[in-house]
Amino acid sequence: MMLAACVLIPAAVAALIAACHRRPNLREAVSLAGAALLFFTVLSFSQAVLEGARPRLLLGEMLPGLALVLELEPLGLLFALIASGLWFVSAVYSIGYMRGNHEANQTRFYVCFAAAIASAIGVALAGNLLTLYLFYEALTLVTWPLVTHHGDAEARRGGRTYLALLLATSLLFFLPAMAATWWIAGTLEFEPGGILQGKVSGTAAALLLALYAFGIGKAALMPIHRWLPAAMVAPTPVSALLHAVAVVKAGVFSIVKVVVYVFGADFGREAFAWLPWVAGFTILAASVVALRADNLKRRLAYSTVSQLSYVVLAAAILTPLSLAAAALHIVAHALGKITLFFAAGAVYTAAHKTEVSQLDGVGRRMPWTFAAFGIGALSMIGLPPAAGFVSKWVLVSGALEAGHWLALGVVVASTLLNAGYFLPIVYRAFFREASGEEHGEAPLPMVLALVATAVLTVLMFFFADLPLAFARKMLG
Amino acid sequence: MLEHVPALQVALPLVAAPLIVLVRSRRFAWLATTVVSYLCLLFSIQLAWRVAASGPVSYAIGSWPPPWGIEYRVDALSAFVLVAVSLTASFVAPYAQRSIAVEVARDRQYLMYAMYCLSLAGLLGIVITGDAFNLFVFLEISSLASYVLVALGQRRQALMAAYQYMLMGTVGATFYVIGVGLLYLMTGTLNLVDMAERLRAVEDARPVLVALAFITVGMGLKLALFPLHHWLPNAYAYAPSMATAFLAATGTKVSVYVLLRYYFTVFDPVPLFSHLPTEEVFVALSVAAMIVASFIAVFEKDVKRLFAWSSVAQIGYITLGIGVDNQSSLTGSIVHLLNHGVTKGAIFLLLGGVALRAGLAALPLRSLAGLGRRMPLTAFGLVIAGLSLVGVPGTAGFITKWYLVLGALERGWWWLVAAIVGSSLIAVAYVWRVVEAMYLHPGDAGAPHRREAPPAMLAAAGAMVLLCVYFGFETGFSVGGAADAAAFLLRGLR
Amino acid sequence: MSTVAGHYSYWMTIVLIVAGMYILIARGNLMKKLLGLAVLQSSVYLLYIAPAKLLGGTAPIVAQGYTVYSNPLPHVLILTAIVVGVATLALGLAMVVRIREAYGSIEEDEILARDRADDDRAPDGAR
């Protein structure tokens, strides 16, 4: 079935890439072709899903009563679309980056990349908690070689933190949460309206939610967030696609899935009361750290931590509008953040600069790069004409609708903080005098990629109806 | 012919052993061993089929009717364990040729095969017999053969390890037979099923309790239940590779079977678990094993010893299921007999290949450096098997963890859930050390180029790794068989 | 008083078990440990055989005028157990001989000291 193809294509690409080890150009072509094929395959489902269809494929029974199932629903389709579409763009970018920096072990890189996409698509298409958990863990394991790509002591340390935190949270919290859900509800299927309705309430429900929220470590709620800055030791294409898009989005996607399809949008608010506080704290605290971070990737990492909690906050408010905002922000943040990371990588490749304080005047030498960076920054802050404005607007509407003053306050405060740590970079880049060696723009593939994602960010602002339609459809 | 399969299951390897000793040729020894292992697998599958179709199979040795004669009895539990043991043997036997050729002195190799056949005969006999004293005899047959298997290791430490193993193992068997003696005195029969019925009528409980205690401690020594595990790390570390793989996958598992048989078939499980502190004792010791042994493994410098301690921890998972005493946890216990056997067997088979190529008798952690480049398939196999030890979904280990967690949840013991997943986390730590050594540390500058283990060894090990993954997805036989066995045990004699 | 006198075989069994275990654990000489093991195993023989003789029972051969026969089964069992014990002892002694050849000593602490020295010198044990 076509649904299986969505997971099989990237897996097959991984195998093919390994086979093309000795022919780099063929290898890159395979990546690109596979990514394009995957995107169009996923796209082909959009019409049907928008009309209410939910294609389903039973993969087989793993345990008595528990099967592995693929099911496509609107939220999953959104995630799969951005993962596959941005895979193509990242592949273009990676070609420029890996060759421009003369990175070693490129085949291993591309193979693991494709495998990571396969796992991410698996998460997007998961039809029940067991399938989700399977692909979620696979994603952790398959991205570890990417994080430790450089193989030096620093990479090892980063990899250790990465693996330790993600595996610890999923083993200690996610697995028991899943087992408890099975025991309480008798099923692990994702149902619109949830499977826990009426079966658990009060403190037990709040605890179960906590196990999920902290067990899904990829959503980077504090204090589980440390793996994300640790993963910045990876080459920038990894940080861009995986830690701005695939891995982190798998995290928040899973949380939204759990909220909508396991607890249900009509679940009692009391169990969710504590979550906006944790999410709000994460948003603000991460922004404060970002303010003080000089390393560009570190600043972007903490910005990601902060932005991810927007999604969690939106989900925690639990109104139809805020849940739609959560889905929208998954898309908007992905587009904006990948642009920012692409730009960071471009700066590193062309100018060999990694710290914000070194960025004086670099914008004048790399106009395309920093124009894109500017758009990404606008998206993070939430200003038009960038995608981030759309999701923030819907989030504020949702918070107003629910009368959630805490959420409103957090959003306002963090908008200011975002401006505080992004705008100075843009200012420095364009309005200060450059120093150091002369350099030009980054290699062409990289510039093409980051311009493409910047354009997409702007496009989402103008064509917001499409993702909004998916987000609305998610709730039936 | 078909109705004699229960007898053939044991007789075939039992006869093969002296035959190998008489013929003396190494080739014949290996051939006979392999053929016998495969035939045993076929027999056990056939028996499992029969039991699934029409209930327990009973076979009277020498046509003397039970309970006076010795009865071979195959029910849901024994069928499962028979398949698990013979499956392991079928993978280890083809592996053995190259491995033994390198690790054992030329003039002793045929003896190794003979001991292997004896051990296999003993293990299969323990599982299939329905007579308490006959069980002791087979127990000692397999144990004595195992002591020799361990003693044939390359380094002289193997001798002391085997000696220690022998002392502790014989004490264990002696305790077991004391327990049986007391039970015989109280019931007048040695047939397990008959004994079960007569025990229900016994008035004076004290000798029966003492018997239970002796049997528990005796078998506890054999299965390396914490804190009676002292012999295991040394025995596994110094034995020849195929012996370690075989013993790790089968020896302790069969001893668990004996415990299960006594606890649920012979003794009445209902008062056993409610009036005695059985649950508390088993849960406490198991949790101690799971956590302490995993912890020790993290700090071990010798790879084989590291995984030996891991075995002690994994045995803790099996006994935990007994302590929690419900359908889910018991299913987890029994399925882990197979799952862990496959996982640990794969690991030790792969390590044997590493040792062979490296020309080493012992494997310190640093000898694994750069294995990702030198022997990529072996290294990848170790990663997969390591993930199964941790219990990552998609591997056999996850299935076990799932059922144990479920069992704990059904009892409402949240702290136990925390202990189970917590120990998995510690397992991540020691698997991590191995993975890091293999992939992140460069090998010696003058290290030989990429060269995998010999094909026969790699194929056998690879097949076992594939089973680790297979039993993680396709659980029809593993969980189905285990669930049937658990239900059968919990039903008791009713 | 009847508790002691009437059950003296059981008391002896207990003495043998404890004595055997003590020798096995407390003595460092490998040969002596084996002897402890033998003592332990002999307690089992006593445990089985003593109750086999029924009070007033005759030899287990069917004969006119006798109704109580001693139980022959434990004897059979113990013959097996003795054989197992002999095999174990033989194996143990063979191991002790080999250990003596390899280490030059059969005292446990000396052997362990030599192993530790081995580990410090050459942990790889390369062939």
- Mutate which of B68, B152, B159 to disrupt the C interface (most C C-beta within 10 Å)? B159
Asked if the C-beta of C50 comes within 8 angstroms of chain B's C-beta atoms, the answer is: no
Out of A30-34, A238-242, B49-53, B375-379, least confident range: A238-242
Closest-CA residue of chain B to A155: B440
Q: How far apart are CA C46 and CA C52, in angstroms?
A: 10
Residue linked to tokens 């078998």: B219
Closest-CA residue of chain A to B417: A176
Domains contained in chain C, number: 1
**Which of B136, B157, B163 faces C30 most closely, judged by CB atoms?**
B163
User: A239: closest CA among A79, A354, A118?
Assistant: A354
The answer to whether the CB atoms of A137 and B421 lie below 8 A apart is: no
Contact map slice: A 149-188 vs B, CB within 8 A: 151, 156, 159-160, 163-164, 167-168, 171-172, 175-176, 179-180, 182-183
Q: Are B482 and B402 in contact (CB under 8 A)?
A: no
User: A231: closest CA among A212, A210, A248?
Assistant: A248
Asked if the C-beta of A210 comes within 8 angstroms of chain B's C-beta atoms, the answer is: no
Chain B residues touching C98 at Cβ < 8 A: 151, 159
Task: Tell me the nearest-neighbour CA distance from A129 into chain B, angstroms.
Answer: 12
Domain boundaries, position C99: 2-55+68-121
Note whether residue C16 is domain-resident.
yes
The answer to whether the CB atoms of A176 and B418 lie below 8 A apart is: yes
Contact map slice: A 241-280 vs B, CB within 8 A: none
Q: How far apart are CA B319 and CA B333, in angstroms?
A: 7
Per-residue pLDDT of chain A (476 residues; tens, 9 = 90+): 678 888 888 888 888 888 887 888 888 888 888 889 989 988 888 888 888 788 888 888 888 888 899 998 888 998 999 898 888 888 888 888 888 888 777 888 889 988 999 999 999 999 989 999 999 999 999 999 899 888 788 888 898 899 999 999 999 999 999 999 998 888 888 888 788 877 877 888 888 999 999 999 998 888 889 999 888 888 888 888 777 778 999 999 999 999 888 888 888 788 888 888 999 999 999 999 998 888 888 999 999 999 999 999 998 888 888 888 888 899 999 999 999 999 998 888 888 888 888 888 888 888 888 889 999 999 989 888 888 898 898 899 888 888 888 888 999 999 999 999 888 888 888 888 777 777 778 888 888 888 998 998 888 888 888 888 888 887 76
Q: Which amino acid is at A103?
A: E
Chain C residues touching B181 at Cβ < 8 A: 44, 47-48
Beta bridge partners of residue B59, listed in sequence order: B72
The answer to whether the CB atoms of A176 and B405 lie below 8 A apart is: yes
- The answer, yes or no, to whether residue B31 has pLDDT greater than 90, is yes
pLDDT attached to residue B135: 96
Q: Are A226 and A160 in contact (CB under 8 A)?
A: no
For β-strands A66-71 and A56-63, DSSP reports them as antiparallel
- Mutate which of B70, B168, B171, B302 to disrupt the C interface (most C C-beta within 10 Å)? B171
E strands within B273-431? none
Spatial neighbors of A198 by CB under 8 A, at least 6 apart, are none
The answer to whether the CB atoms of B417 and A176 lie below 8 A apart is: yes
Closest-CA residue of chain B to C102: B156
Asked if the C-beta of B415 comes within 8 angstroms of chain A's C-beta atoms, the answer is: no
Number of Cβ pairs closer than 8 Å across A and B?
A: 70
How high does pLDDT run on average in chain B?
91
Out of B93-97, B123-127, C20-24, least confident range: B93-97
Chain B residues touching C18 at Cβ < 8 A: none
Note whether residue C29 is domain-resident.
yes
The answer to whether the CB atoms of B409 and A183 lie below 8 A apart is: yes
E strands within A24-158? 56-63, 66-71
CB atoms inside a 10 Å sphere around CB A426: 19
- Mutate which of C15, C23, C89, C95 to disrupt the B interface (most B C-beta within 10 Å)? C95
Q: How much of chain B is helix, strand and coil, in % rounded to 5?
A: 80, 5, 15
Q: Which of A138-152, B128-142, B191-205 has the highest mean pLDDT?
A: B128-142
- Mutate which of A21, A137, A144 to disrupt the B interface (most B C-beta within 10 Å)? A137
pLDDT attached to residue C122: 65
Chain C residues touching B163 at Cβ < 8 A: 30, 92, 95-96, 99
pLDDT attached to residue A234: 87
Closest-CA residue of chain B to C88: B144
Q: How confident is the model at residue C127 (pLDDT cuts 50, 70, 90)?
A: very low
**Which of C92, C111, C125 faces B361 most closely, judged by CB atoms?**
C125
Q: Which of B84-98, B436-450, C49-63 has the highest mean pLDDT?
A: B84-98
Note whether residue C60 is domain-resident.
no
Residue linked to tokens 């299965």: B223
Q: How far apart are CA A357 and CA A352, in angstroms?
A: 13
Asked if the C-beta of B337 comes within 8 angstroms of chain A's C-beta atoms, the answer is: no
Q: Regarding predicted confidence, which is higher, B161 or A387?
A: B161
The answer to whether the CB atoms of B483 and A164 lie below 8 A apart is: no
pLDDT attached to residue A186: 86
- The answer, yes or no, to whether residue C124 has pLDDT greater than 70, is no
Q: How far apart are CA B46 and CA C60, in angstroms?
A: 42
pLDDT attached to residue B445: 57
Residue-wise pLDDT tens digits, C58-110: 888 888 888 888 989 999 999 999 999 999 999 999 999 999 999 998 899 99
Q: Are B307 and B363 in contact (CB under 8 A)?
A: no
Q: Are B99 and B241 in contact (CB under 8 A)?
A: yes
- Which CATH number is C25's domain given? 1.10.287.3510
Chains touching chain A at 3 or more Cβ pairs under 8 angstroms?
B
The answer to whether the CB atoms of C40 and B133 lie below 8 A apart is: no
User: A171: closest CA among B317, B436, B344, B427?
Assistant: B427
Name the strand (E) or helix (H) holding A404: none
Closest-CA residue of chain B to C41: B174
pLDDT attached to residue C126: 45
Note whether residue C37 is domain-resident.
yes
Chain B residues touching C33 at Cβ < 8 A: 167
pLDDT attached to residue B448: 60
User: B65: closest CA among B193, B186, B187?
Assistant: B193
Chain C residues touching B359 at Cβ < 8 A: 126-127
- At B369, give phi and psi (nearest 5°): -60, 135
Chain B residues touching C100 at Cβ < 8 A: none
Helix (H, G, I), strand (E, B) or coil at B301: coil
